Amino acid sequence: MVDWTGSHILTTPRLVLRTFRLDDLPEYARLNAHPEVARYLGGPLSREDSDDIAAWAQECYARDGYGLIAVERRADGTFLGMCGLHRQASVPDEVEVAWRLAPEHWGHGYATEAASAWLEHGFTRLGLPHIISITDPPNLRSLAVMHRLGMVVDREADIEDNGVLFHAVIHAITPRQWQTRASAPPCPCARPQG
């Protein structure tokens, strides 16, 4: 049975990273149905599919000690979206950091802050040798977050996610790169093509 208690897992100066609560599900469905959010995710999701993803995330966290869990703003308890670590089916031997926030919360550094907490957790608590992040090459917002995190291009690959095949750029970071990320040179892949 899925636990919907909203257990706090990690905190940052502005955020609480916690498991989902049942009252998050309508907001999560709204964000998953938003065309701009779904643009690089294979299209908008139904409420049922969104709820299934949240339940899967809860089960992953219960089983593995990490998952794509809820992001809440500490100041007012607003549900912003999700962020966390997980294993993507197309690259099951690696752990990915991923995020998905509602558009009204873009541009405030929340994705970078949440993902930073997960990278720190992944390296210091879980002892991961490296962490990846995956996106479509035109997804400049996600690429910018990856670069702010100090991640660098590792490779390109064809990835299947929920039955949708897409060409992806995969960034990676090691614990050493994480510790020295301030000195990483900017990556040219996030520059607009023109």
Residues 121 and 66: beta-carbon distance below 8 Å: yes
Q: For 126, which DSSP code?
A: S
Look-up of token digits 């994705």 = 111
Q: For 86, which DSSP code?
A: E
Instruction: Please tell me the predicted confidence (pLDDT) of residue 146.
Output: 96
pTM of the model: 0.91
Instruction: Please tell me the predicted confidence (pLDDT) of residue 193.
Output: 47
Q: What is the dihedral of CA 121, 127, 128, 133, to 10 degrees?
A: 10
H or E element in which residue 85 lies: strand 79-86
Give the pLDDT of the chain (194 residues) as one tens digit per residue. Answer: 788 989 999 999 999 999 999 999 999 999 999 999 988 888 899 999 999 999 999 999 999 999 999 999 999 999 999 999 999 888 999 999 999 999 999 999 999 999 999 999 999 999 999 999 999 999 999 999 999 999 999 999 998 877 778 899 999 999 999 998 765 555 666 555 44
Walk me through the domains of the chain, giving residue ranges and CATH numbers. 8-184 (3.40.630.30)
**71-85 burial by CB neighbour count: b if 16+ within 10 A, else e?**
bbeeeeeebbbbbbb
Instruction: Please tell me the predicted confidence (pLDDT) of residue 89.
Output: 86
Instruction: Please tell me the predicted confidence (pLDDT) of residue 194.
Output: 45
Instruction: Please tell me the predicted confidence (pLDDT) of residue 62.
Output: 93
